[in-house]
Structure formats: structure tokens, C-alpha cells
């Protein structure tokens, strides 16, 4: 094949891929998954309709599939961050075991016994039926980490059920690829009528062990681009080339083993990729930059992969196998329900989890589709029908899975959707003592940030404001202050005279305890009195000079903290998540646009650094993009 013809195929395909991206966005607007639009566009561009991507082009463009599969495996491995899964490890363990074994065993046995109803399996000998059954069952176990993360981020979900789902989803993909390596080796032996003996299993174990070992080595190689100061485009290209290099290396080892040793020794490039990504994520300081790079290149990779997959499908075959795919969809659903119920029982999780434990694991995407593609290439006689059935099942799972997952999170009250203006589930509220221009300006600013604000005034002020709830006090006596119930407020701002402020601050100190109390100081001589009561003091006489000083010495940081940079904000978050307890700051998986400013423990600011270990109850101050900060609220919550 000439280079000129390959370039022609590439140009033609990339034009189709650009169109597929636009068409897929139309599907998204109409509540269909992105993958559906890409696959349908590929079908239309393939040999079934327009023939823009003929079968000959698919064969020559197979290297694009291998690049895409490598990136999909890298993405799956990067989500397996062990330090964030500690508190739910027992539940993750039992749910993973249940999902892996029950789904695999029930699916493979059922498919074997109904094989005569499946056209391409009906005439096969028993050993071949076993081979196809275990390959179907292996793919049924696979789940989509990217889809799970998308739903969790959309609902800002957090809680024991969510943590279990996330842990099971990413661990399963590693185990599924190992299971697939075993299954496809057994399937090859059955279909090629090769003996399955001790030597066979020794070779199989060596293949898996070698793949894992190479994965650890390639993890070191994968970190090299991030040791440089090169731009992000270079690093993205380097990751792609390393991924494709793993496939080329695996093919080379297979060829050399056959020529030199006269044995079939097949490495599993998907396993190498996922282990390499796992190693970099858990044992390297480059995990954040690596994750960001993957997120930037993944959309392009998915467009290429799913469009190519659609182009390889035959509409005629798809119509013929649709009923089978529908039956397989329900078979997988039933096995998921049984395995989910069993996992909850073995882990001794709350009974309310049992009803919905299967719902988060329906959705499938990249890994499952990648495994089906490998089967299609490995067994060309019947692999095309196999792949078509799997794709149809995946599309159904993509349509049904996310809504069910969302429903389960809402059912268990682990979703944290943005509240209506009339409600405030985070209890972000404040009370301001004193009715004046500054108190109104502060109240409006807090309201824009979704805080509930009340303004307390002495009856003598006799003012009216419709925007805020005004509380009128006859005096500042204990009896009057008790009526307000100051325990309900997150922050208390005192803008009265120093004598009145001191009276309220003393009441809070003696009757309520630690609260965020902010005082506007009028006379410097009263500073020590307020300081002893643990209040945060603002001195108007020096505040402007201090602010100007900070602007002169550190203009970027000051404008950021004051919210003058568009889309940027700062926030204090209390650590309540047990998984975060004991983690070092450098090990936190924070978005790349978020920085840690300080850590406060038991009222004392720590001299924090990368090795500072967080504790439950710590208050961590973060600055960064608004959207990223809102997501992190639920990451640190219990």
C-alpha cells in the first residue's frame, strides 16, 4: 500500500470525523449520548450507505484504532487512585468480586445454552460455543469510568454509595482486561483446536505477568514528557506516541516469539497501557498534569474511534442481530441486578443500597467497545457479527444507564444539585448587625454567592428593606439575643458601635463557642478586647492602606482574593471526608486551576507544604475557578 493512498484515506476520514463531531453534538442536544451520534455518522459514511470510508480504508486505518485504544486504557488507569478509596475498600472489594464473577459466570452459561438461537453460533461445535460465550461474558463485565464520572460531576454526587461505585468502576476495568487476556487465549485454543494443558497455562501466566511488568516500565516512560518544560501540545503528542509504541512493541514481541521460539506468546497492550497509567497516577508527582493532558486529547480520540467503529458496521447485520442484542441487554441487566444485590449483602452495606446497586454499572463505552473490536479482528469468520451485537448492546446501555444511575443517586440522597434561590442545603448563612450602606453592600455580595443573609437592627433605627429579612431588637440583652438563635448562623458580622459589638461578641464567646465573628473596629484601643474573644477584626483606619500595600507587592494574588479576576474565587472548606483524612496535600487530586492557600487546624493556621497531612475538621482555603471550587465542596464532604 502506497503512502499516498494512506494519506488520501486519512484526509477523507478526518473530514468525516469533523462532520461526525458536529452531528454528535446535535444528538447530545436531543438527550442522546455522544457515542450514539458518532457511531451513526460512521455507519452512514461506511460501506452500508455512502462508502466514504470503504473496507479497504478501514484496514489501512487500523493504527488509529490502536492509538485510540491506548488512550482509552490510559484514561481508565488514571482514574484508579488508591488513596481516595480507603474508607469504602470493603464494599468495593465485595461489589467488584460479585460483579466480576456472577456476571461473568451467569452470562457465559446462559449464552452457551441459548447458542442455537444465535445464527452465527448455531452450527459451531461445543468448544467454539464456549469460546464465544466467555468472550461475550467478559465484555458484559466492562463498565465506563468516563460515563460514571460525568454523572457524578453533573449531580455533584458524594457519599458511601458514590465512592463505592467509583472504586468498583475503575478497578473492574483493570480486572476486565486481565480477564479478557485469559478469555481470548482460551478462545484461541478452543477455536484452533489447540491443547489446553499445563504448558498452556504457564505461557498464559507468563504473558500476563510480562504485560504487567512492562506496564510498570512504560509507566516510567510515560512520565518522561512531564519532566520537561515543553508545552501541553508536545506532551499530548508524546502520550499518543507512547501509547501507539506499546502496540507496536507488543506486535513485535509476538512475531519474534513465533519466529525464534516457535510459540504463541501474545502480550496484551491494553493491560500494559492501563498498568502504565495506574503506576504514573499512584506513584508519580505528575498525575495531575497527566490527567489534564488525557482530558484534552480524549475528545478527539473518541471521535476517531467511535466513528471508525460505526464505519465498520453493516446495517444489514445490525438489523439481523438486533433481537439478539436486545435479549443480551436484558441478560446483562439481570446478572447485574443479582451481582449488585449479592455485593451489598456480602459487604453488609445498608439494605437501601440493594435495590439500586446494579444501576450504576449498566453504562458501557470505550473499553467494552475496544475489546469487541479486538475480537472482531482476531476472529474474522464470525467476529463481525460478534462486534455488531456488542455495539448494539452498548448503545442501549448508553441510553438507559445514565438516567438509572442519576435516579439511584437521587434516591439515596447523594446528589447535590444546585439549590433553588429559596433554599440553601449547605446552610451558608450569615447575620449582620447594623443597618447601613456597608451592611447592605455586604449582604448583596453574599446573596450573589448563594448565601442567606439576615440583618439585625436595633428598634430605634426604624428602617425598611424588602430584599433582606430584617430582625428588630429591643436591646442587646441576653434575652433578646437568645431570640435570634445565633447558633444557626455560619458567620456573624458586627457593624455597630464598639460597645455594642463587644456586648454581642462576649455573648457569643460565653454562650455559643467558636463561630466566625467579624468585627468592624472603630477605636484601636478596643483591639485587645475583641482579640481575646477570638473575633476577626477589621480596622477601617488601616484597611485601605494595608490593601494598597498588598496590591503593590502582590497585585495578582490580591486581585484574585478580592474576586476581581473573572471566574475566580476563594473558598474555605472543612474536611469531613474520611478518605481525605491522612492524605498529604501533594497527593490531593485537585483540578489544575485550583491552589491551596492555607490549612487551619483547631483555630491555628499551619505552615503547610506538600507533605502536610490533612485531618478531619481541618479548614482548607482554596482559590481557583468557580466551577472547580463548587465541585470540590462535595469532594471534601462526608
Per-residue pLDDT at 500 exceeds 80: yes
Q: pLDDT: is 461 or 147 the higher one?
A: 147
Average pLDDT over residues 382-406: 87
Which range has the worst mean pLDDT, 18-32, 240-254, 623-637?
623-637
H and E: helices and strands count for the chain: 24, 10
Confidence band, pLDDT 50/70/90 cuts, at residue 422: very low
Ramachandran bin of 156, using left for φ above 0, alpha for ψ from -120 to 50, beta for the remaining angles:
left
- The whole-angstrom separation of Cα 182 and Cα 271 is 12
- What pLDDT digit, counting tens, does each position of 607-628 carry? 666 677 888 888 888 877 777 7
Q: What are phi and psi of 50, to 5 degrees?
A: -85, -20
- The whole-angstrom separation of Cα 262 and Cα 309 is 34
- Classify domain 429-543 at the CATH class level: alpha beta
Domain with CATH 1.20.1530.20 in the chain: 3-411
- What pLDDT digit, counting tens, does each position of 326-346 carry? 999 999 999 999 999 999 999
- The whole-angstrom separation of Cα 346 and Cα 93 is 10
Which ranges of 312-382 would DSSP assign to H, the alpha helix?
315-347, 352-356, 366-378
Which range has the worst mean pLDDT, 212-226, 275-289, 612-626?
612-626
Q: Give pLDDT, residue 319.
A: 85
Average pLDDT over residues 17-36: 79
Q: Give pLDDT, residue 111.
A: 94
Per-residue pLDDT at 242 exceeds 90: yes
For cell 512531564, name the residue. 226
Q: H/E element holding 58? A: helix 55-60
Confidence band, pLDDT 50/70/90 cuts, at residue 464: low
Q: Give pLDDT, residue 530.
A: 87
Q: Give pLDDT, residue 231.
A: 82
Q: pLDDT: is 540 or 236 the higher one?
A: 236
Q: What are phi and psi of 508, to 5 degrees?
A: -65, -45
Average pLDDT over residues 179-208: 87
The pTM score is 0.68
- The whole-angstrom separation of Cα 453 and Cα 228 is 49
Which range has the worst mean pLDDT, 26-40, 292-306, 528-542?
26-40
Q: Give pLDDT, residue 424.
A: 42
Per-residue pLDDT at 86 exceeds 70: no
Q: Give pLDDT, residue 214.
A: 92
Domain with CATH 3.40.50.720 in the chain: 429-543
Mean residue pLDDT across the chain: 82
- The whole-angstrom separation of Cα 435 and Cα 464 is 9
Q: pLDDT: is 154 or 95 the higher one?
A: 95
Quick check: 148 and 401 in contact, CB under 8 A? no
- The whole-angstrom separation of Cα 159 and Cα 157 is 7
* 634 three-class SS: helix
Average pLDDT over residues 56-85: 82
Per-residue pLDDT at 408 exceeds 80: yes
- What pLDDT digit, counting tens, does each position of 170-184 carry? 788 788 888 988 899
- The whole-angstrom separation of Cα 186 and Cα 596 is 51
Per-residue pLDDT at 527 exceeds 50: yes
User: In this structure, which topology does domain 3-411 adopt according to CATH?
Assistant: Na+/H+ antiporter like fold (1.20.1530)
Which range has the worst mean pLDDT, 107-121, 164-178, 542-556?
542-556
What strands lie across the sheet with 491-494, from one edge to the other? 469-473, 452-458, 429-433, 491-494, 516-520, 536-538
Per-residue pLDDT at 418 exceeds 50: no
Q: pLDDT: is 373 or 602 the higher one?
A: 373
Q: H/E element holding 573? A: strand 568-574
- The whole-angstrom separation of Cα 318 and Cα 325 is 9
Per-residue pLDDT at 258 exceeds 90: no
Confidence band, pLDDT 50/70/90 cuts, at residue 85: low
- Classify domain 567-635 at the CATH class level: alpha beta
Average pLDDT over residues 364-379: 84
- The whole-angstrom separation of Cα 57 and Cα 51 is 10
Which among 546, 615, 591 is positioned nearest to 289, based on CA atoms?
591
Confidence band, pLDDT 50/70/90 cuts, at residue 131: very high
Q: pLDDT: is 27 or 271 the higher one?
A: 271
Q: Give pLDDT, residue 425.
A: 42
Q: Give pLDDT, residue 423.
A: 38
Q: H/E element holding 493? A: strand 491-494
Cβ neighbours for 632, distance < 8 A, ≥ 6 positions apart = 571, 573, 590, 591, 594, 622
Average pLDDT over residues 13-33: 81
Q: pLDDT: is 83 or 194 the higher one?
A: 194
Q: Give pLDDT, residue 113.
A: 93
- The whole-angstrom separation of Cα 572 and Cα 40 is 46
Which among 484, 634, 475, 633 is positioned nearest to 569, based on CA atoms?
633
Which range has the worst mean pLDDT, 115-119, 228-232, 468-472, 554-558?
554-558
Amino acid at each position: 500500500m502506497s503512502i499516498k493512498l494512506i494519506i488520501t484515506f486519512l484526509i477523507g476520514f478526518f473530514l468525516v470525523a469533523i462532520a461526525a463531531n458536529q452531528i454528535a453534538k446535535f444528538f447530545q442536544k436531543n438527550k442522546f449520548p455522544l457515542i450514539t451520534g458518532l457511531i451513526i455518522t460512521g455507519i452512514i459514511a461506511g460501506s452500508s450507505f455512502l462508502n466514504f470510508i470503504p473496507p479497504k480504508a478501514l484496514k489501512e486505518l487500523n493504527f488509529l484504532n490502536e492509538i485510540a485504544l491506548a488512550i482509552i486504557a490510559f484514561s481508565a488507569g488514571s482514574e484508579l487512585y488508591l488513596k481516595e478509596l480507603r474508607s469504602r475498600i470493603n464494599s468495593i472489594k465485595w461489589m467488584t468480586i460479585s460483579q466480576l464473577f456472577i456476571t461473568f459466570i451467569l452470562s457465559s452459561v446462559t449464552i452457551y445454552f441459548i447458542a442455537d438461537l444465535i445464527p452465527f453460533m448455531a452450527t459451531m461445535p461445543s468448544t467454539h460455543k464456549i469460546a464465544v460465550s466467555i468472550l461475550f461474558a467478559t465484555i458484559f463485565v466492562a463498565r465506563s469510568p468516563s460515563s460514571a464520572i460525568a454523572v457524578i460531576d453533573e449531580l455533584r454526587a458524594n457519599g458511601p454509595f458514590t465512592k463505592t461505585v467509583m472504586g468498583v468502576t475503575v478497578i473492574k476495568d483493570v480486572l476486565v482486561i486481565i480477564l479478557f487476556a485469559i478469555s481470548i487465549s482460551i478462545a484461541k485454543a478452543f477455536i484452533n483446536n489447540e491443547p489446553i494443558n499445563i504448558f498452556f497455562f504457564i505461557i498464559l501466566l507468563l504473558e500476563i505477568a510480562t504485560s504487567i511488568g512492562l506496564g510498570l516500565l512504560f509507566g516510567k516512560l510515560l512520565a518522561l514528557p512531564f519532566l520537561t518544560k515543553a508545552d501541553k501540545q508536545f506532551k499530548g503528542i508524546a502520550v499518543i506516541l507512547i501509547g501507539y509504541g506499546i502496540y507496536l512493541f507488543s506486535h513485535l514481541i509476538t512475531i519474534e516469539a513465533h519466529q525464534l521460539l516457535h510459540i504463541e506468546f501474545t502480550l496484551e497492550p491494553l493491560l500494559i497501557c492501563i498498568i502504565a497509567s495506574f503506576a504514573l497516577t499512584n506513584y508519580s508527582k505528575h498525575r495531575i498534569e497527566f490527567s489534564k493532558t488525557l482530558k484534552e486529547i480524549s475528545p478527539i480520540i473518541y471521535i476517531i474511534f467511535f466513528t471508525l467503529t460505526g464505519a465498520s458496521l453493516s446495517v444489514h447485520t445490525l438489523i439481523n442481530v438486533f433481537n439478539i442484542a436486545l435479549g443480551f441487554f436484558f441478560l446483562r441487566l439481570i446478572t447485574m441486578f443479582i451481582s449488585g444485590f449479592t455485593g451489598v449483602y456480602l459487604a453488609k452495606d445498608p439494605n437501601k443500597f440493594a435495590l439500586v446497586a446494579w444501576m450504576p454499572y449498566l453504562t458501557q463505552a470505550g473499553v467494552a467497545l475496544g475489546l469487541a473490536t479486538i475480537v472482531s479482528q482476531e476472529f474474522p469468520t464470525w467476529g463481525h457479527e460478534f462486534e455488531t451485537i456488542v455495539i448494539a448492546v452498548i448503545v442501549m446501555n448508553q441510553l438507559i444507564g445514565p438516567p438509572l444511575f442519576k435516579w439511584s443517586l437521587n434516591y439515596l440522597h447523594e446528589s447535590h444539585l444546585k439549590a433553588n434561590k429559596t433554599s440553601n442545603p449547605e446552610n451558608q448563612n450569615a447575620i449582620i448587625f447594623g443597618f447601613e450602606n456597608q451592611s447592605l453592600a455586604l449582604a448583596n455580595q453574599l446573596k450573589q454567592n448563594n448565601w442567606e443573609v439576615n440583618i439585625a437592627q436595633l428598634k430605634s433605627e426604624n428602617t425598611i428593606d424588602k430584599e433582606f429579612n430584617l430582625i428588630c431588637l429591643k436591646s442587646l440583652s441576653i434575652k433578646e439575643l437568645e431570640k435570634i438563635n445565633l447558633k444557626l448562623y455560619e458567620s456573624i458580622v458586627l457593624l455597630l458601635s464598639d460597645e455594642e459589638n463587644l456586648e454581642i461578641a462576649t455573648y457569643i464567646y460565653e454562650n455559643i463557642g467558636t463561630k466566625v465573628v467579624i468585627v468592624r473596629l472603630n477605636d484601636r484601643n478596643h483591639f485587645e478586647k475583641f482579640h481575646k474573644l477570638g473575633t476577626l477584626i477589621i480596622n477601617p483606619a488601616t484597611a485601605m492602606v494595608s490593601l494598597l500595600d498588598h496590591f503593590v507587592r502582590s497585585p495578582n494574588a490580591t486581585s484574585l482574593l478580592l474576586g476581581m479576576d473573572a471566574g475566580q474565587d476563594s473558598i474555605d472548606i472543612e474536611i469531613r471526608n474520611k478518605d481525605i483524612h491522612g492524605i498529604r496535600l501533594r497527593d490531593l487530586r485537585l483540578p489544575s486551576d485550583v491552589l491551596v492557600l492555607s490549612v487551619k487546624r483547631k483555630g491555628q493556621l499551619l505552615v503547610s507544604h506538600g507533605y502536610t497531612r490533612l485531618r478531619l475538621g481541618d479548614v482548607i482555603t482554596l482559590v481557583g475557578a468557580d466551577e472547580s471550587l463548587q465541585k470540590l465542596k462535595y469532594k471534601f464532604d462526608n
